[in-house]
Structure 1
Amino acid sequence: MLPFTIEQFLGVFASYNRAIWPAQVLAYLMGGLAFSLVFRKGRWSNQIIAGILASMWAWTGVVYHLIFFTSINKLAYVFGALFVVQAAALIYFAVSQRHLDFRYMERPAGFIGVALVLYAAAIYPLFGLATGQPADQLPMFGVTPCPLTIFSLGMLLLTRQPVSRWLLVVPFLWSLVGGTAAIFLRVPQDWALLVAGVVSLALLIWRDRRMAPAG
């Protein structure tokens, strides 16, 4: 049983979207830059992409979860902390470990990665509008948990080196939490979140094992 009503849940989105405008536009610009850098590599591309993803996770953890979502669900304190941990992990592995190398590769992981990015940015909001969700109550790209998780999973699939399993823990957990809750909360576009989490995890594990040196 959820500790809040559907009306309260959607009301949080409405209040949040009004309060942070025009951050949604900036999130699209940042997401577009991150995606373009996968195809147009530069010296600092990996760090810029990781920095953009980290800023989105930190923002969503602090502003959405801790400031807004805690008003109807005290578990949001835990969710917010996990999102901030994910942001820190992205910075750590991109800067300290240099284990994130974003680049499009023509293989199943690359194809599905592009599909998830496009779903999170374009199909996700259109799906919501098509099913009757008011525009002001839409979970928006880059600043709310579910589209951010789908986008991040897509971006992690667009890498050419093994990805640390630690970077997959929070996105996979949220795919279970958010994907399951979508059934009860009238957010049908989040049904894809469950699939995205399971498929991305399986693909990355399979791909990274194939890339690991023999012996």
Structure 2
Amino acid sequence: MLPFDGPTWLAILEQYNQAIWPLHGVAALCVLAAIALAFSGARFAGHAIGVLLGVLWIWIGLIFFGGSVAPFHFAAEELAGVFVAQGLMMVLALTVMGRGGIFGWPGGRTGVLAVVLVVYAVAAHPLLGHLLTDTPWSQLSYVGVAPAPTMLLTLALLLLALPRPPLIVAIIPFLWALVTGYMAAGLGLALEYIPATLGVAAFAVMVVRRFQRSEPWLDG
């Protein structure tokens, strides 16, 4: 059971968005840079993506959960720790250890799924929230500064890791996809089922790609 209701969650988002504005623009630049690098196939892309996504996860952990959510949620500090840990793992795995490999267009259904996730995380998530539920822009979740769309973007870019995505850095985003689905039910926010479902689907594809040498149904 969640310690707050849907309107309280939206109020938390509103307070947070107003407090950090205009840093949304900085986050957007980081997001766009990470996307461009992931599709570029540049040799240093994995290192840069690890740093960019790592910073975003750490920001959400410290500022969103550690700051805005803390007065309303008994486990806010633990959630902050999880997000900070994910950010550090992104930096460690993709940058220090170089486990990200090469990023680039994988083709096939995997590539299509990655594009769908990117488009939804960056643009469709807030647009649908505003157009379908009439939620004010100030109460919406934005990629790079809020958990659900950032989780989705992370999984989308990990799908572009070649030849196989590093599962170690996909586990926490996958778990947050499950939490997002739980929050959708508990808070009565039906649109949150979309990022939850897409996140679970992305992780399932990663698992298949990791443990199978050939996946024609994904690459065809």
| TM-score class, shorter | over 0.9
Residue pair 2:130, 2:136 contacting (<8 A) in 1 also: yes
Deviation at 1:42, TM superposition (A): 3.2
| Rounded Cα–Cα distance in structure 2 between residues aligned with 1:43 and 1:152 | 19
Deviation at 1:96, TM superposition (A): 2.4
Partner of 1:119: 120
SS in 2 for 1:72: coil
Deviation at 1:186, TM superposition (A): 4.4
| Rounded Cα–Cα distance in structure 2 between residues aligned with 1:58 and 1:202 | 25
Partner of 1:36: 36
The aligned amino acid for 1:45 is: A
| Rounded Cα–Cα distance in structure 1 between residues aligned with 2:188 and 2:28 | 24
- 1:1-215 equivalences under 5 Å are 1-100=1-100, 101-130=102-131, 131-211=133-213
Deviation at 1:24, TM superposition (A): 0.9
Deviation at 1:188, TM superposition (A): 3.3
Structure 1 residues 132 and 11, CA, compared in 2 at 3 Å: closer, same or farther? same
The aligned amino acid for 2:115 is: V
| Rounded Cα–Cα distance in structure 1 between residues aligned with 2:210 and 2:36 | 23
| Rounded Cα–Cα distance in structure 2 between residues aligned with 1:41 and 1:164 | 16
| Rounded Cα–Cα distance in structure 1 between residues aligned with 2:41 and 2:103 | 8
SS in 2 for 1:84: helix
| Rounded Cα–Cα distance in structure 2 between residues aligned with 1:136 and 1:186 | 19
SS in 2 for 1:197: helix
TM normalised by structure 2 equals: 0.90
Structure 1 residues 190-199 or 173-182, which shifts more? 190-199
Deviation at 1:206, TM superposition (A): 0.9
Residue pair 1:114, 1:158 contacting (<8 A) in 2 also: no
Please give the per-residue CA displacement for 1:35-80, whole angstroms capped at 9, x wherever unaligned.
1112323342221111111011000010000111011002121111
Please give the per-residue CA displacement for 1:158-209, whole angstroms capped at 9, x wherever unaligned.
1113333321221111111112211332433321122123211211111122
| Rounded Cα–Cα distance in structure 2 between residues aligned with 1:186 and 1:13 | 16
Residue pair 2:51, 2:95 contacting (<8 A) in 1 also: no
The aligned amino acid for 2:45 is: S
| Rounded Cα–Cα distance in structure 2 between residues aligned with 1:152 and 1:187 | 22
Please give the per-residue CA displacement for 1:69-119, whole angstroms capped at 9, x wherever unaligned.
011002121111010110111111112221113211102222101110110
Deviation at 1:20, TM superposition (A): 0.3
TM normalised by structure 1 equals: 0.92
Structure 1 residues 192 and 148, CA, compared in 2 at 3 Å: closer, same or farther? same
Identity of counterpart residues, as a percentage?
A: 29
Q: How many residues align?
A: 212
The aligned amino acid for 1:4 is: F
Deviation at 1:27, TM superposition (A): 1.3
The aligned amino acid for 2:121 is: A
Residue pair 1:146, 1:178 contacting (<8 A) in 2 also: yes
SS in 1 for 2:83: helix
SS in 2 for 1:71: coil
SS in 2 for 1:93: helix
Residue pair 1:128, 1:187 contacting (<8 A) in 2 also: no
